[in-house]
Amino acid sequence: MAEQQRHGLSTDLGPLVRGARTHAQLVLPDADHITMAIQESGTYYERDLLDAIRGRHLQGTFVDVGAHYGNHTVYFALECGAQRLIGQYCWTPTWLGMPAEVTGQHAPS
């Protein structure tokens, strides 16, 4: 929590995103277009694209280059069942707010 405050983030949980298999809460900045899209839709940003990827039933390692807020990273971990996940260029506050299901299994890069 102190680390989130150091980066200027609220310690409140972020918006709830509803997926096909589970739900998660993301740590997002205020008044950002991605944040607003998630708040309005109640689901992951670019959900149609993410569902199309999930529909391919891919296995193994998922790579999210430009992970930034972790929207796709969390989706791949929770919705696609990634065995390994690499999130490049993750915003530090995002990593600090990642759900335990993600941080417990995957190391930041």
- 56 lies in some domain: yes
Q: By C-alpha distance, which of 2, 13, 8 is closest to 98? A: 13
Q: Contact 56/62 with Cβ under 8 angstroms?
A: no
- 108 lies in some domain: no
pLDDT tens sequence across 63-74: 988 877 889 989
Specify which residues 25 forms β-bridges with: 16
pLDDT tens sequence across 2-38: 544 554 544 456 678 888 888 888 878 887 888 899 9
Specify which residues 63 forms β-bridges with: 86
- 87 lies in some domain: yes
> Taking the mean position of all CA atoms in its chain, how far away is CA 30?
16
- 55 lies in some domain: yes
Print the domain residue range for 93.
2-103
Count: domains in the chain: 1
Half-sphere exposure of residue 2: CA atoms within 13 angstroms, side-chain side = 0
- 109 lies in some domain: no
Q: What is the mean pLDDT of residues 55-62?
A: 95
- 23 lies in some domain: yes
- 20 lies in some domain: yes
* pLDDT attached to residue 15: 75
- 75 lies in some domain: yes
Separation CA 104–CA 77 (nearest Å): 11
